[in-house]
């Protein structure tokens, strides 16, 4: 059993900084040994100083992390187009990998990467952090214990407070790939079943520039699961009241709901009415605990030699569903996930897990 885990972090963007801070503050048995970041400026140097690290711990070359025999786990938070390459290089050098979603947007590259991971025997976990939100995870556990009987309907609301920059929209892969990808995974997680078919509708209701960039900003998807349950996901790029994240599972014996958490529990009672505090306005505020929880789970899997979930197969399935949703939207018809999978000769997901 591994007692001390030495970690190399690749990428110091927004999520990379979150993980770096959590690694140095929340895990006394984990050492953040090195960070690779291609764009090193004074801001980055100041940031690593706040972590208690020095300039020598920072490199522009990820290969230095792969080649370091003392590092036994790599966290990848770099741009999506680097994920497959870095995962393969890490596992070839006997390092376990935690990689932010998406695993990749190119399905053949994903398939090749998962084959390399399986051959290596190393562990790969994908950063679908919402599985580790305490409310969503508790709901999942209660469904698994049969508290509401057989699940019939799963409803997910996921709405951002404001759209990302248009330049990001142009390279994001589209709403179904960039935003709903968390919800595809959450739907599978809560249903404990694979999504068999998706029927997606969408439109540009917020900003015409998003449409000009080739994307949509508002969408609804109807899901059919293998176990017979059905699901509904609604997405919006702009909820003016905050970061709206809600979940409901309705079953034969009842219903479970995970509502938004307000910033405080304060409620004001006056003659004008009753008011509650606002909900978080940013995903880093809403999912603060989930980012810590997912890494704690990953490190425990390494120490106990257990296979993590969500794994590479979960990352692949999320991309297949996103592709099916995009085709459904474009062709105005329900699309089976198997239709997309068969085009890449994927007929057995167990080959990748």
pLDDT of residue 353: 46
- Judge if 163 and 257 occupy the same domain: yes
Neighbours of 90 (CB within 10 A): 29
* 104 CB-contact burial (10 Å; exposed 0-12 / middle 13-18 / buried 19+): buried
Q: Is residue 157 part of a domain?
A: yes
Tokens (6 digits) for 325: 């949703």
Residues 6 or more apart from 232 whose CB is under 8 A from it?
153, 154, 155, 156, 220, 221, 222, 223
How many distinct structural domains can be found in the chain? 2
Q: Is residue 297 part of a domain?
A: no
pLDDT of residue 277: 84
What distance in Å separates the CA atoms of residue 126 and residue 316, rounded to the nearest whole number?
A: 10
Residue pair 10/62 in contact (Cβ under 8 Å)? The answer is yes
- Judge if 23 and 163 occupy the same domain: no
pLDDT of residue 112: 97
Please report, for the domain that includes residue 84, its CATH number: 3.40.50.720
pLDDT (tens, 9 = 90+) of the chain, 353 residues, equals: 566 899 999 999 999 999 999 999 999 999 999 999 999 999 999 999 999 988 889 999 999 999 999 999 999 999 999 999 999 999 999 999 999 999 999 999 999 999 999 999 999 999 999 999 999 999 999 999 999 999 999 999 999 999 999 998 998 899 999 999 999 999 999 999 999 999 999 999 999 999 999 999 999 999 999 999 999 999 999 999 999 999 999 999 999 999 998 888 888 888 988 888 888 887 778 889 999 999 999 999 999 999 999 999 999 999 999 999 999 999 999 999 999 999 998 987 655 44
- Judge if 208 and 342 occupy the same domain: yes
- Please give the backbone phi and psi of residue 333, each rounded to the nearest 5 degrees, phi first: -155, 155
Helix (H) or strand (E) holding 99: strand 96-100
DSSP 306: -
* Residue located via tokens 């059905």: 230
**177 lies in which domain range?**
131-289+315-352
Domain limit, last residue, from 122, 154, 177: 122
- Judge if 154 and 264 occupy the same domain: yes
Instruction: Taking the CA atoms of 109, 115, 119 and 125 in sequence, report the sign of the dihedral they define.
Output: positive
- Judge if 73 and 208 occupy the same domain: no
pLDDT of residue 351: 53
Q: Is residue 219 part of a domain?
A: yes
Q: Is residue 202 part of a domain?
A: yes
Q: Is residue 307 part of a domain?
A: no
Domain limit, last residue, from 122, 149, 178: 122
- Judge if 234 and 90 occupy the same domain: no
In order of 108, 115, 170, 284, the CA distances from 167 in angstroms are 26, 34, 5, 21
- Judge if 95 and 146 occupy the same domain: no
* Residue located via tokens 């029927």: 199
Q: Is residue 319 part of a domain?
A: yes
What distance in Å separates the CA atoms of residue 262 and residue 243, rounded to the nearest whole number?
A: 10
Q: Is residue 302 part of a domain?
A: no
């Amino acid at each position: 059993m591994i007692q001390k885990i030495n970690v190399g972090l690749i990428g110091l963007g927004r999520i990379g900084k979150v993980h770096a801070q959590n690694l140095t503050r929340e895990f006394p048995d984990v050492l953040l040994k090195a960070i690779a970041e291609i764009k090193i400026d004074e801001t980055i140097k100041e940031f690593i100083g706040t972590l208690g690290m020095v300039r020598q711990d920072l490199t522009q070359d990820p290969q230095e992390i792969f080649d370091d025999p003392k590092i036994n786990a790599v966290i990848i938070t770099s741009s999506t187009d680097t994920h497959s390459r870095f995962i393969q290089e890490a596992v070839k050098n006997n390092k376990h990998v935690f990689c932010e979603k998406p695993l990749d947007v190119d399905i053949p590259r994903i398939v090749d990467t998962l084959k390399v991971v399986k051959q290596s025997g190393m562990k790969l976990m994908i950063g679908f952090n919402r599985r580790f939100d305490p409310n969503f995870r508790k709901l999942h556990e209660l469904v698994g214990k049969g508290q509401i009987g057989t699940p019939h309907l799963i409803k997910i609301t996921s709405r951002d407070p404001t759209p990302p920059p248009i330049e990001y929209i142009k390279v994001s892969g589209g709403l179904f790939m960039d935003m709903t990808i968390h919800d595809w995974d959450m739907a599978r997680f809560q249903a404990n079943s694979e999504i068999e078919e998706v029927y997606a509708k969408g439109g540009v209701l917020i900003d015409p520039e998003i449409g000009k960039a080739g994307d949509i900003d508002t969408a609804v998807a109807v899901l059919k699961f293998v176990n017979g349950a059905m699901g509904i996901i609604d997405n919006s790029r702009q909820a003016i009241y905050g970061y709206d994240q809600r979940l409901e599972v309705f079953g034969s014996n009842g219903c479970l709901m995970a509502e938004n958490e307000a910033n405080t529990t304060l409620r004001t009672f006056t003659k004008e009415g009753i008011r509650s505090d606002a909900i978080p306005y940013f995903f880093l505020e809403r999912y603060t605990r989930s980012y810590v929880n997912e890494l704690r789970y990953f490190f425990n899997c390494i120490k106990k030699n257990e296979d993590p979930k969500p794994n590479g197969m979960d990352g692949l399935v999320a991309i297949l569903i996103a592709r099916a949703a995009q085709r459904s939207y474009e062709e105005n018809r329900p699309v089976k996930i198997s239709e997309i999978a068969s085009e890449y000769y994927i007929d057995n997901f167990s080959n990748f897990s």
